[in-house]
Structure 1
């Protein structure tokens, strides 16, 4: 018995389509037409065809120019992912098509219906009506049947086919944005309650996930011809770059363009008369005929249609004029910052009112209420870091577009302002860490002991282990270089693809070798994202068609990219949802995460969840420097003088002057948070961990304490039972 052959592509289509909802009515349509032959004698500036198999007709509406005279026959081929689905010929004389039998020279602007036989409909696979973002093309050769050129092809046109199904879904955009936003909000609430360890883990994973969304958006902004499913999937994450269409905002942006000396484009307003082609593989060779570069780099062919690619392709798919794209992204970044700032202010006011009304305890969110301005500054810095990839690409791209004087001025201000702000913040962090190493032989001491510095600059280093405080600099360089290639190499997709492979490979190697994040789970989370970004860069290089791969291979790679990234994003989202939910409903969220080996918690000021005697509290306050003037960590001289000779305010629990070099006090301070031996740079926090952790959660001493402190719990209590330092309250 003969076993029938099975097309593997159709099998893949069937499997994917089985999980997708079917539409109410099967339909195939095309809205653009491109020339696929040099010196084509038939061109169209508008082409809109809707085919419904139920009524056996295809409605055609086109504005075309023909220089063909005589009797012709149409040789029609339908390709899906490079696989020939249908090939047939249509004689316009047999189909009673007006103006086509015979074909006459001139302009054609007469809508008509093209009959389709049942045999041709049966040859179209049913999956073609349900598979999302169908990568199908209809190619029509116009062959002469009379005259001296009988049998010759005098024109060729091709059009992309869509079935109306897509993975560019508003639900995906809202779901991903809402989860990321709620996770960030949850981390802020958990931090305000005093659970800094859990909050830093949630915030770190959320920002990494947000960065992955931005990486997918950048993939869609590249000028490489992308398969339709990849275009749609990457479009789902353009919200992370501030590319969101709101009609009244678009009206304001258009007004601003014109009022500042620019000329707003109106491409979207002319779609009823002009055809716009979204670049994909094959269009570049199809347009080898001379083309004219319109202002702001929209490619306009001589027969009147337009070709959009890269960042313009993203704008067109989002329904935003290309001249409004930069201002749209800038506006939503500004709105994001303003809303966040107002939320912090309103939360501060709400906490104070609730405390006065007795609705919450007086010490709830006490640290936030006392230093909310510093917290707000830190949040604004974090907003700048989140928006840096977005503004880097949009501002640099605006420099190449020059939409208007006002837009360019804003681009200069925001790009250089954000770059200098983050550079200054990174410089301050490095200075503090180096000073801490010089004075205490441990970068974590100063970075985490001062709550003002932690709230203001901590957004740059809390996600990393203390010894990797410098890693924010490579991260900023990575974002800047990647954004430069995306924004400034829009005319060369191959250059972008090669550059992204090198950049992502470097990032993956650095992350895998250095493992700079705070713990094992966070390192694994970020390394997985780096690996997926690298794989996406390889896929992008495949789409450049440098290897001359068959269209079928390109189509399959596009589907694989979509499925792989959809599964990966779903896994990351579920991990974030589950961990955030558990933290929010856990009695002590900090115990869910392993304490970092850099012993940062030993240096943090918060004592919200530490139940100790008043004597130990006083000793801890003395070691922290509580009750003394605030240490100005932004001044080297101030930092050195305070570290060597701290002069506290009189009348406080820790009012006794002391010196880091005072060996007489080292035996007392070693059991709290101070160095036991400055010559070795080791810190003893074992006693702190033993008395602050629930039963069964005691871990091995940290690397900073193991070799210098081998005392057990009883030894620790015996040490603290000795004479109290002068000025401590008992």
Structure 2
């Protein structure tokens, strides 16, 4: 059978991926696989269609080889070599290649493919998505047998798992779950809303972790590249043509130089970074840049690396941008713009919902008490929602802003990156410090962090996004979460030139996250802990796979191909399970008349402090105290324990507190302030051992209620019970105000 150097490329094409209605096998770039290759191609396009038994070939190659050569052709799928044969161009009758001559070789023709070659192509090659198949050709001198060139072509059938429909479904489910949690909370079902919101945030975090995997500079098998591309919308990487035009104009207007890689696709090839290909191309690029000292720094900073043959190579973040159809110099503005639009549309949605609620209440479409808390304090709720938007968008903006510092697309874009990165980091750090200060005050005054964190509606609506998904005693866990996000983002943004460093960093980070989550179990209940620990476990397994893909173990290529399939199926199944769980949870909440009854009340007794329409009933000391803490009875000022914690970065309260004139004026009118005290006497047990309930202090009085054991008897009783709260609880039931707050350990 007569073979040309192109026929093996077309033949091996059968082992790949695509989305075409008509069966076809394609290759769009001819990559060099040898550092000193004497044969390169700046343009290489081959399309084989079995229906007409022909292949369309468009090549612009450059050769420095002179003399007779033999082609050593190897075809492999998932790293497993399935065909190996030698082709003599003289026997194949290929004019211009027998013998080889130095110079530029443009070729544009249709190549007939024999029926015998077509029958050897398995049918699955046209249908299986993202097949990892390549054709590698070594050019060996006939006389010496020395290899003077090596070229490699990736084969695709157009089938892929990178589908727009999948992206829309994932985005809609995550968005509806977040919106549903807000609506349910507005209806008064705070317990159910907390579970739905926690599940939705964890699901969104898993989506972002998948996207981060694709942003690394490690070579990923084709199916993994396409799979992670399905989640890049969670990082704001969304291609809209007219917006890309605006971003290009903005960059030029602010002193930048936009890349034009997509405008060059008709004349040059773009190589998606392959195993061992990146190092060879980068070495060649460094030698080229070294010959241009003035431009070398700028070239090394640019995302699109141009090889000596004139083609481009993309990897890591730039690979994601290229596959999304976005110029790499527009990537930062794309992510920034979609984050801003996300925030703007959220503000508009909350404002419109507030207006609709007022209109509906006025027109008697809904009851006057429906969404009453939201209608009365909607501005505070909106502040809390904006804080939550900042938390959701923090991974996206951290990666893009830090990466922009290495690219410097334009001075104006660098200024935007500085503003958003440091602004969002400072905002979240401030909010986290507020939560910690409030919780510590609650512990100091009431021996329970849940008391103030959940009793004040203003604090809960404004800062609750940072701690409501955790148990009360783990209020601090938002600090490790923010640190985890920041460190992971720094590895992605700053280590784009070292995939191995990224892989090792990911492994250490994910191992720490898994150990911390498994040991501390900080989330609100057992099911939520299991949900999030499972996500951490999958992220850790993905980090191990990433280390394998980095070739640090120098394993055979077959291992990478198999591990890529395992990663895809494992994550696809896990993502499906998470989606079904979130969907089921959200649907059940809306179907049930009282969704709070589906969940056990958290052990930290947050439900006792939160104002809800559907929670504990009956008149007990616990209910009475919770009502007092919420301000439902006279004599208690709402926000009593938070009067020093209502300030924010932009508020006037800090100025008032630090102004001596304001302090003197307040003292003159109100007299010296006494420190806030808990309305509960900790010496009086809520549930005495004799079964009798002790009286509570009057709501309007700060006098202590008398001990039911009387004077010296109380002292004797405490001595008999080790005079410590823990000793008392061991014999007389743990106080419900302290269950789950960390005191029972």
Q: Verify: 1:255 aligned to 2:297, yes or no.
A: no
Counterpart position of 2:712: none
Counterpart position of 1:566: 572
Tell me which of 75, 79, 86 is aligned to 1:78: 75
CA distance in 2, matches of 1:666, 1:194: 37
Higher mean C-alpha deviation, range 203-212 or range 69-78: 69-78
CA separation of 1:57 and 1:92: change in aligned 2, threshold 3 A: farther
Tell me which of 106, 113, 118 is aligned to 1:116: 113
Residue deviations 1:489-525 (CA, integer Å, cap 9, x gap): 1111111111111111111011101100000000000
CA distance in 2, matches of 1:255, 1:188: 39
Question: Aligned ranges for residues 370-409 of structure 1 at < 5 Å?
Answer: 370-409=376-415
Higher mean C-alpha deviation, range 381-390 or range 29-38: 29-38
Tell me which of 620, 625, 628 is aligned to 2:631: 625
Residue deviations 1:630-682 (CA, integer Å, cap 9, x gap): 32615169997343589xxxxxxx995322x6225999xxxxxxxxxx98499
Q: Report SS of the residue matched to 1:345.
A: helix
Q: Report SS of the residue matched to 1:277.
A: strand
Counterpart position of 2:189: 195
The question of whether the paired residues in 1 share the 8 Å contact of 2:607 and 2:615 is answered with no
Counterpart position of 1:641: 675
Provide structure 2 residue ranges, at least 5 long, that are not aligned to the other structure.
Answer: 1-13, 290-298, 646-656, 658-671, 681-696, 710-722, 741-745
Tell me which of 213, 231, 240 is aligned to 1:237: 231
| 1:615 Cα deviation after fit | 13
TM-score (norm 2): 0.82
Q: Report SS of the residue matched to 2:82.
A: strand
Q: Report SS of the residue matched to 1:552.
A: helix
TM-score (norm 1): 0.84
Q: Verify: 1:220 aligned to 2:214, yes or no.
A: yes
CA distance in 2, matches of 1:449, 1:629: 12
Q: Verify: 1:43 aligned to 2:40, yes or no.
A: yes
CA distance in 2, matches of 1:679, 1:452: 34
Residue deviations 1:418-445 (CA, integer Å, cap 9, x gap): 1010000010000000000000000000
CA separation of 1:683 and 1:316: change in aligned 2, threshold 3 A: farther
CA distance in 1, matches of 2:582, 2:679: 45
Tell me which of 164, 179, 188 is aligned to 1:185: 179
Q: Report SS of the residue matched to 1:595.
A: coil
CA separation of 1:700 and 1:618: change in aligned 2, threshold 3 A: closer
Counterpart position of 2:539: 533
Counterpart position of 2:714: none
The question of whether the paired residues in 1 share the 8 Å contact of 2:41 and 2:309 is answered with yes
CA distance in 1, matches of 2:426, 2:622: 43
Q: Report SS of the residue matched to 1:287.
A: helix
CA separation of 1:379 and 1:93: change in aligned 2, threshold 3 A: same
Counterpart position of 2:701: 658
The question of whether the paired residues in 2 share the 8 Å contact of 1:85 and 1:123 is answered with no
| 1:256 Cα deviation after fit | 1.1
Q: Report SS of the residue matched to 1:556.
A: helix
| 1:162 Cα deviation after fit | 1.1
The question of whether the paired residues in 2 share the 8 Å contact of 1:464 and 1:518 is answered with yes
CA distance in 2, matches of 1:158, 1:639: 79
Tell me which of 255, 264, 269 is aligned to 2:263: 269
| 1:201 Cα deviation after fit | 0.2
CA distance in 2, matches of 1:62, 1:345: 58
Please provide the CA RMSD for this pair. 3.1
Q: Report SS of the residue matched to 2:135.
A: strand
Counterpart position of 1:54: 51
CA distance in 1, matches of 2:567, 2:543: 10
Provide structure 1 residue ranges, at least 5 long, that are not aligned to the other structure.
Answer: 1-13, 647-653, 668-677, 685-698, 707-730
CA distance in 2, matches of 1:343, 1:435: 35
Higher mean C-alpha deviation, range 608-617 or range 381-390: 608-617
